Structures are given as C-alpha cells and as structure tokens.
Structure 1
Amino acid sequence: MEHAIGNTPLVPLRRLVEPGMARVLVKLELCNPTGSHKDRMALALIEEAERRGELRPGKTVLECTGGSTGSSLAFVCAFKGYRFQVISSDAFAQEKLETMRAFGAELLIEPSLEGKITPDLWPRMMARADRLRAQGDYYYTNQFHNRDALVGYRKMGEELLEAEADAFCAAVGTAGLLMGVATVLREANPQMQIYALEPATSAVLSGGPSGSHQVEGTAAGFVPPMYDATLVTAALPISEEEARRTARALAREEGIFAGTSTGLNVTAALELARRLGPEKTVVTVACDSGLKYLAGDLFRR
C-alpha cells in the first residue's frame, strides 16, 4: 500500500485562468488513497518512528486531528497492524470522522462551539492527548511538532521540480507541507517565491489575531512550531467566502472536486498569477477530495 501514495498528477487550470495571467498548475493530492496529501505525512510519521525503534508492535498510535490526518493515519495503521486512537471534534466534517472509524480508529470527540474551529479547540484537544499519554503505552505522532512530516513532503517537492515554477503557495495547518516543499524548491531555485496562506478571520501568520473559521486543516490559532518564516516570501490572508466560491468553481469549470482549503489555495494562486503575468508559473495543491465535504454546506445549493 505504501507505493500507492504520492506521484500524483500535476494539471493546469484552463478556464479559471484569464488572458495575461501566469500559468497555474495544481497538484492533485486528492488522488492519494484516502483522498488527501496527509497520506504522505502519515506514512512518514509511522515509518520514521519504526526506523528509530520508537514505534513497535503492541503500541497504540495517538493523534489529535481535524480529520484528514486522522484518516491518513488510520489508513496507514490499518495496513501496518497498529491500534490507532484519535482525538477529534464535531467541528470537522462528519465524513472524515466516519472514514477514521471505517479504518478501525477509536475516536474521542472534543465538543466545539457551534461547529466552528475556535482558538481554544486545538489546545483542548492537545491537552486531552497529554492526559491520555500518561495512562498507557502510546506513540504520540504529535503532528504539529513532529518534523518527520517533512520527510513525506520533501518527496512532493521533488515531484514539483519538473514544473520549473516561479511561485508556490499553500495553506498552513501544521506547516509541514509548505516547509517540506519550500525547502526542496528553494534548494533548486533560491529565487522561488513561497507564500503561506491562511483564512482572513484567523490570520496569525500575517500578524493578526486568531479567530474562528471553517477551513478545515488550516489555521489552528497559533504559529505552528514547524513554520519557518525565513523560507516564506509572504503570508497571505484569504477570504473564506472567496475560497468557497473558488472550490465550487473548480468543480464546475475545471472538473477538480476538492474542499475549502483547496479553494483557499487556488484563490491565492489565481491572484499571484495576475501579479506575475504571462510567461510565469504558479503551483499550488488540491489538498483533498470534495467527497469529504458533501454533508456540509460547501456544495449545497
């Protein structure tokens, strides 16, 4: 199953790009086994821990997750034979929670405020994980602090070198994807422009206050420990409403069926393409499949 992860297609936008704009390429990470780029991270977290001898048969894997990381870890734990316990919340898509259960994960649900990702939610989830760790034989993958994730995302960066891009942008959650890819792209081209994206209502990386939003997988309300501002050209706050409109337009006009974080990425990529102009290339990521969001209001008319 390991070989099914990665080497995803890189496709150009054809209808959303206007004359005079740079070319926009989208990495279709929704083609990974669980429909998410997090499959790369999950495999790296587990295999690097195995390699060091920190994760052995009989141990239980533990994580706090909004869903895609949990689905990916549940998938990897299923084919490797590990028990997986996950702390999540009703703020995240029901489809993601059910996917984790389908792969055999045991879920502990931390209640949210009106289904929103508020600044206190992630700290509560992580505190619950700390309490659990003291009670059993767990391997805590600890996605916000675990630099093993960069191993998985460096591979994505290597796959993107063929694009010979001028700019790369991606939404920041743990920052693993952006940092892993940016490191590889900057090694190949020191002039590469790297943009960190976040919802405008919780623009911590841009110097604003944390706030509530519904762009899953992004903006936990604090600067993630793996975030390295020296690799970033700028942090860009993006309107969540515009991201939602873009996600719907991607499905209707480009045939790319993806979620709100992908809408965030492509909204920014299109704006960068306007700034850079023709003969340039902007690359971004379709983070996960729109199938994970059908129970919510993203695609509901």
Structure 2
Amino acid sequence: MWSNNILETIGNTPMVKLNKITKDIKATVLAKIETTNPGNSIKDRMALKMIEDAERDGRLKPGGTIIEGTSGNTGMGLAIAAVIKGYKCIFTSTDKQSKEKFDALRAFGAEVIVCPTNVDPEDPRSYYSVSSRLEREVPNSWKPNQYDNLSNSQAHYEQTGPEIWEQTEGKITHLVVGVGTGGTISGTARFLKEKNPNIQVLGIDTYGSVFKKYKETGEFDKNEIYPYITEGIGEDFLPQNVDFSLIDHFEKVTDKDAALMTRQIAMQEGIFAGNSTGSAVAGTLQMKDRFKEGDVVVIIFPDHGTRYLGKMYNEDWLRERGFLKDDKLTARDIIRKKDNPEIVTIDSEKTVLEAINVIKSLNISQIPVTQKGMVIGKVTESDILDALLENPSLKSQPVQTITTTPFPFVDLNTSIDKISTLINKENIAVLVEDERGRIEIITQFDIINAISL
C-alpha cells in the first residue's frame, strides 16, 4: 500500500539495540532512529503538527509564508510540508550551523537568512529577533515559534511517546534526549510518565547552555551562557516547551566529547547520525552508573550525519579545534622539520629589481609581499618573468605593481593531506602563523622533506 504524499511517511521510526559503543553499560540500550523520517530528522513530526494546528485555527492561511528561526532540522520539516501544502518559507539561522543544513533548506525552495550566533536573543541581529521582525513585515505570514509553540511537544505526546512504549512493550526504564526546544523530551516524557511514573527522563545539555543549572537551582544564570559548537541542543533562554518538572536530571557534555562520539557511533554501530546524537550517547556513557541489569534505556537519535559532513565528519575541522590528534603530520610538524623556518618577505614599496636580487641570492622561487608587516600578496619567479617580458621598465617599479593573490593561510593543526591539496600551480606554497605569531611558509619541498625525515 502506498502513501498519498511524503508527509504520510512521517513517524513509525525503527528502534535498534546498541551493542559495541554501550558495552560498559549493564542495561539494554536502544536507539530510536529518527533519520528515517522524510527530512531525516525527528523535527518532521512537530513541524507538520504545528502547521496543521495553525491551519485548523486560522493562523496559517492559504498561500501564506512560514517564517521561522531554526538550526536547520525544523526548517527542513517545515519546508517539506510547505512544498506539499503550497506555502513559501523564510528561515533565519545562526552562523554556527553547518553549510549542508542551509543548502538542504534551499533545495526545497526556502529562503535562508544567516544571523550571528554570539548575540543575546533580544538583540535585533539574533535569529529570533530577525524572524519576529520578518513576521511583522511580510504579508500573510505566520511564525511557528517552535520554542514556545506547544504543538511541538504535543506532537511527541501523540506520536513519539506511544511508539517508544509499544516498541519496548512498556519495559522502558530510562529515556535519554538532547534538549533544545524541549518539545521532544517534554512531549515524550509526559506520555511515558503517564504510563509509568517511575520512568527516569534524562536530558542532555551542553556547556554554554542554561538548562542544567536552572533545573538544579531554579536560577537563570547568564554567566552560564557562552558560545558552544554542539548543534541542536542547549539554549541561552528558557523555551516554554521545556517542562522541567518532567525531566529528572540534566547531564552536560563537552563539545569535544559530542563531536568525537558522533564519529564513533558510525564506526562502531554503523549508524550515521548527527551531532546531538553524539552528545546523547556520550552523556549516556557518563551516566552509566545510573543503569542496572534489566533496565531498558532508550536514546533518541534525532538527525542524520549528512548534515555534518563539513564538521564532525571532517578530520581537518576536528584538528583545527584541537578535538582530534593522530599520527598524521600537521603544519606544526612540517615547520619543525624545516631546515630554515625563517620566512623571507619583501615590502610592497621595494622595487621589482630588489625582488629579483632576493630570489637570486637566496635561491628561492617565491616571496610573500608585506605592507606594514601584514602579508598582502606574493610574487613568484614566473610573475616577474611574465611582467618583464611584457614591460622591461617594470624593474624600477614597486613590487606591489606585480603582486598577485597571497598564498592561502592554514592553521597549525591542518593535516598534511589538506595542505597538499592547497598547493598547486596557482598556489605553490601556504602560509601559517606559528605559536609566537610569526608567519612561516610551507612549500611542496617542505612537505617532501617532512615525510622523508
């Protein structure tokens, strides 16, 4: 039997036992795999519910525009529903979200406006404020407001909770969920606790978010708020969908542990999941002493790994943040192995003839060009030759007249693989700033030299 449209495929997601990654936990640990939803995330459930409730009470009218602040997944759910139902979409998001998420939203015809992360929610530049302003300005528009719209948690009360209860045959003892808008954990918890009040509901939070301290002290502490990398969980305000009375404990997980665990899930369980899943599994392992033989722990896996290919699944991205250390050579190693690490530069006001003399005397093939100590470009042997063949009188002109685009800059943790891909006919070297703030140059010869030593 077929579905009449893609929206009818939302829900009824599979549950899978975890084996290797949870081997140190005495309980049975199950993953609720939400990536099988059409938008590859659990947010499809509440996106459709919010739209249908708004249609029912007249807040969303035919031909309207849906405007929402989203980290990506809710936007995807809204965009898919909008395609089927004939609405336009404008989404605001933060610059910490992965590019893949924005590309996916645009694939469904949505407009995406990227806003700064490190501003207060009340700041007019925040993605909350921008979406609210657009709702006022765009005719026939509706803002779902997933944070405070209780249709969000209601979707999980009606769908996710009953599915988990049925799939575990009522044996679930612990529910582990990353907390962002709060809809998933609160709606699911409300249903499950009505069935069995003894079920423990464990929320996963991140450092830089206010949830854990607020739960434990009742204090909203702005000193708890600072930028973090983990996507999809944590907040710097209190969404109405977070029902703290239903959450028994919050466990904080670091950005590093979340990112590395995201990768481990794929490598050990064969499940290609997103960043908040990494947080949830890492948090579950941190809480292993809470679980005993015979317990049934359900972890919600909210979204798919394809949204994080440029981040958690990118080794250079991890190295740049100090999350990943392995045996591969990095820019730091290459510089240490250089015979002469001191970089030679030439000021932009020096003449082309002086540049020629430097190249000849030092037997080098390129020189970074500086202006007031800052690298602004480069000159190479071929640049000089091409320029003089065209106009021999350029010898007396400032070198800046033939300066070309500067070499790319890389981080000290950039891998040798990434550096090799950056060095080509157009860029015969890369630049890197060392621990003391000095600029160093890495050429193809330096890479060969580092490998052979």
Range of TM-score over shorter length: over 0.9
Residues of 2 paired with 1:223 and 1:64: CA distance? 15
Residues of 2 paired with 1:259 and 1:134: CA distance? 34
Q: 1:286 aligns with which of 301, 308, 322?
A: 301
Q: Against the structure 1 CA distance between its residues 194 and 24, is the aligned structure 2 distance closer, same or farther, given a 3 Å change threshold?
A: same
Quote the residue 1:24 is aligned against: 29
- Deviation string 1:246-299 (CA, Å, 9 cap, x unpaired) is 111110010011111001111122333443121111111111110111022444
Measured after TM superposition, the shift of residue 172 of structure 1 is: 0.9
Q: 1:200 aligns with which of 201, 207, 224?
A: 207
Quote the residue 1:150 is aligned against: 153
Measured after TM superposition, the shift of residue 85 of structure 1 is: 1.1
Quote the residue 1:139 is aligned against: 142
Structure possessing the higher relative contact order (Cα contacts under 8 Å, 6 or more residues apart): 1
RMSD: 1.7
> Contact 1:167 / 1:194 at 8 angstroms: preserved in 2?
yes
Count of matched residue pairs = 296
Map 1:61-140 → 2, pairs under 5 A:
61-110=66-115, 112=116, 117-118=117-118, 120=120, 124-135=126-137, 136-140=139-143
- State which drifts further: 64-73 or 206-215: 206-215
Which structure has the larger Rg? 2
> Contact 1:165 / 1:281 at 8 angstroms: preserved in 2?
yes
Map 1:162-201 → 2, pairs under 5 A:
162=166, 163=168, 164-201=171-208
TM-score of the two chains, using structure 2 as the length reference: 0.63
Quote the residue 2:354 is aligned against: none
> Contact 2:62 / 2:87 at 8 angstroms: preserved in 1?
yes
Residue 146 of structure 1 aligns to a residue whose secondary structure is coil
- Deviation string 1:21-74 (CA, Å, 9 cap, x unpaired) is 111101000111111101111110111111222212121111011111111111
Residues of 2 paired with 1:174 and 1:138: CA distance? 22
Quote the residue 1:242 is aligned against: 257
Counterpart code for 1:165: I
Counterpart code for 1:156: T
Residues of 2 paired with 1:74 and 1:271: CA distance? 36
Residue 295 of structure 1 aligns to a residue whose secondary structure is coil
Counterpart code for 1:137: N
Residues of 2 paired with 1:273 and 1:32: CA distance? 29
- Deviation string 1:149-194 (CA, Å, 9 cap, x unpaired) is 1232120011000322111111111100000100011000011101
> Contact 1:63 / 1:141 at 8 angstroms: preserved in 2?
yes
Measured after TM superposition, the shift of residue 203 of structure 1 is: 4.3
Residue 55 of structure 2 aligns to a residue whose secondary structure is helix
Map 1:247-262 → 2, pairs under 5 A:
247-262=262-277
Residues of 2 paired with 1:189 and 1:273: CA distance? 22
- Deviation string 1:97-124 (CA, Å, 9 cap, x unpaired) is 01111001112221x3xxxx43536851
Residues of 1 paired with 2:107 and 2:52: CA distance? 22
Residue 296 of structure 1 aligns to a residue whose secondary structure is coil
Quote the residue 2:392 is aligned against: none
- State which drifts further: 101-110 or 220-229: 220-229
Residues of 2 paired with 1:132 and 1:166: CA distance? 44
> Contact 2:176 / 2:203 at 8 angstroms: preserved in 1?
yes
Residue 30 of structure 2 aligns to a residue whose secondary structure is strand
Residues of 1 paired with 2:313 and 2:191: CA distance? 33
Which consecutive residues of structure 1, in runs of 5 or more, have no partner in the other structure?
none
Residues of 2 paired with 1:134 and 1:119: CA distance? 21
Q: Against the structure 1 CA distance between its residues 281 and 145, is the aligned structure 2 distance closer, same or farther, given a 3 Å change threshold?
A: same
Q: 2:248 aligns with which of 212, 228, 233?
A: 233
Residues of 1 paired with 2:135 and 2:290: CA distance? 48
Counterpart code for 1:64: G
- State which drifts further: 216-225 or 276-285: 216-225
TM-score of the two chains, using structure 1 as the length reference: 0.93
Which consecutive residues of structure 2, in runs of 5 or more, have no partner in the other structure?
1-5, 215-220, 317-453
